[in-house]
Amino acid sequence: MAAGERVTRIDKPGALVHLPREGDRDEALADPRVGDVDEWGRSESIRELTRRLYDPMYRHWFRAEWDGLDKIPTTGGALLVANHAGAIPSDAPAIMHGIETELGRPVYGLAEHLFKALPVVGTMWARAGGVAADPDNAYRLLREQGQLALVFPEGTKATGKLFSERYQLRRFGRGGFVEIAMRAGVPIVPIAVVGAEESMPIVWKSGALAKLVGVPYAPLTANMLLFGPLGLLLYFPAKFRLKVLDPVHFDVPPDQPRYSKSRIMEEAENIRQRMQETLYDMLRERKSVWFG
C-alpha cells in the first residue's frame, strides 16, 4: 500500500465518515477559491487598482527616479532595506510601486504589528501587500516562497524624527533584519531614498499626547500647518530619487538556529554606514528639494 498507510473503508450508504480510497489521494486537492487574496492577505487585483490610482502621484507629483534598479534580483528572495521618513511615510508606497511596475514582481512590505489592530487601515494595508514584521513571516516569504520583502530597520524612530534631523539614519534596530536574511539565505539590497523627508516634515511632536493615545509618536507636520486637517493626506511635491546599492551577500549557511551577534551587528552597521554615505552623496548632488 502507498506509503504504508492503512486505509479504512466504509462503503455502506449513510456512513458518517467517508474515508478516501487509495488512488484518490495523490490527486491535487480541489481549491475552489473565488477571490485572489493570498495567504498574506495581499490581493493582486487590489494592488493593480492601487497602482493605477497611485501612478500619477508617483510620476507627476514625486517624479520618482531610480538609479540601479537592475541590482534588484528578478527571481528568488531578497530583503530590501531602505531609510524611512515622513510622518506618514511616503517612501514605502513609492518603493513598492516602482519595483512592481518596473520589475513586474510583487513586493511585500514588512511593518509594525500595530497596523493590524486598526480597522480599515489594517485590512487595506494587508491587501496592498503589507505583512507584520515577524521573523517567522519574513523567513517564510524569503526562504520558502522566494519573494521580495521590504523592511525599514529604523522603524518608527525614523518616521517620528523632526525635520531638523532629516537624513540622519537612526539606529538599525537590533540587527534583526541581517539575522533574517542570513537564516533565509537571501541577499540584502539596500535602497537610499531622497525626497520622502521633505514630503511630510514633522515640525513639532507631543510625547504626552502620543503616550495618551498609545501611538509611537504624535506629530505636527508642516503639511497640517499649511493645509489643516487635509495635511494628513497631502504630501509636498518633493522630488524622489531612489538609489539601489550593491546587494550584500552573506557567506554563512542558512537555517541555523543562531548566528554570531557580533557578526550581525557588524553587518548591520556596515549597511547603515553605506546607506548614510550614499544619502550624503545624493544630497551633495541635489540642487533643489523640489526639482532634484
Partner 1 sequence: MGRRVLVTGLSTFWGGRVAKALEADAEVDVIVGLDTKPPRIELERTEFVRADQSYSILSRIVKAAQIDTILHTFLVVDSTRMSGRALHEINVIGTMNLLAAAGAEGSPVRQVVVKSSTLVYGATHRDPQWFREETPRTQSPRTRVERSLNEVEGYLRDFAEDNPHVTITLLRFSNVLGPDIVTPITKALGLPLVPMILGYDPMMQFVHEEDVVRSILFTMDRKVSGIYNVAGDGRMPWSEVITMAGKRPVYLPPIRTAWAAAPFSRLGIVDLPDEVLALLRYGRGADNRRLKHAGFRYGYTTAGAVDAFVKNQRLRSTVGETRPGYQYERDVENFFRHSPAVVRDQ
Please pick, from the candidates 1, 13, 23, 32, the single residue that binds partner 1 as defined by CB under 8 A: 32
Residues in the chain: 292
- Contact present, 131 and 110 (Cβ < 8 Å): yes
Task: Give whichever of 133 and 191 is closer to partner 1, judged by the CB atom.
Answer: 133
Please pick, from the candidates 16, 53, 208, 213, the single residue that binds partner 1 as defined by CB under 8 A: 16
Please pick, from the candidates 3, 53, 208, 213, the single residue that binds partner 1 as defined by CB under 8 A: 3
Please pick, from the candidates 20, 76, 216, 228, the single residue that binds partner 1 as defined by CB under 8 A: 20
215 binds partner 1 (CB under 8 A): no
Q: In whole angstroms, what is the distance from residue 198 CA to residue 237 CA?
A: 8
Please pick, from the candidates 13, 39, 52, 213, the single residue that binds partner 1 as defined by CB under 8 A: 39
261 binds partner 1 (CB under 8 A): no
Q: In whole angstroms, what is the distance from residue 94 CA to residue 58 CA?
A: 7
Please pick, from the candidates 1, 17, 53, 213, the single residue that binds partner 1 as defined by CB under 8 A: 17
213 binds partner 1 (CB under 8 A): no
Q: In whole angstroms, what is the distance from residue 177 CA to residue 78 CA?
A: 11
Place of cell 554615505: 277
Find, among 95, 110, 81, 111, the residue nearest to 245 by Cα: 81
Contacts with partner 1: how many residues (CB under 8 A)?
44
15 binds partner 1 (CB under 8 A): yes
Residue 221 φ/ψ, nearest 5 degrees: -100, 160
Name which of residues 83 to 142 contact partner 1 (CB under 8 A): 113-123, 126, 131-132, 134, 136-137, 140
Task: Give whichever of 60 and 258 is closer to partner 1, judged by the CB atom.
Answer: 258
Task: Give whichever of 121 and 209 is closer to partner 1, judged by the CB atom.
Answer: 121
9 binds partner 1 (CB under 8 A): yes
Residue span binding partner 1 (CB under 8 A) among the ranges 2-10, 54-62, 69-77, 159-167: 2-10
Please pick, from the candidates 13, 23, 31, 104, the single residue that binds partner 1 as defined by CB under 8 A: 31
209 binds partner 1 (CB under 8 A): no
Maximum distance among all Cα pairs of the chain, rounded to whole angstroms: 82
- Contact present, 203 and 163 (Cβ < 8 Å): yes
DSSP secondary structure of 25-68? TTSPPP----S-B-TTS-BHHHHHHHHHHHHHIIIIIS--EEE-
Task: Give whichever of 24 and 251 is closer to partner 1, judged by the CB atom.
Answer: 24
The vertex-18 CA angle with 12 and 22, nearest 5°, equals: 100
14 binds partner 1 (CB under 8 A): yes
6 binds partner 1 (CB under 8 A): yes
In the sheet with 241-244, reading across from the earlier edge strand, the strands are 65-67, 241-244, 188-194, 78-82, 148-151, 107-111, 130-132
Please pick, from the candidates 18, 60, 284, 287, the single residue that binds partner 1 as defined by CB under 8 A: 18
Dihedral through CA 182, CA 186, CA 190, CA 191, nearest 10? -140
Residues at the interface with partner 1 (CB under 8 A): 3-6, 8-10, 14-20, 25, 29-35, 37, 39-41, 113-123, 126, 131-132, 134, 136-137, 140
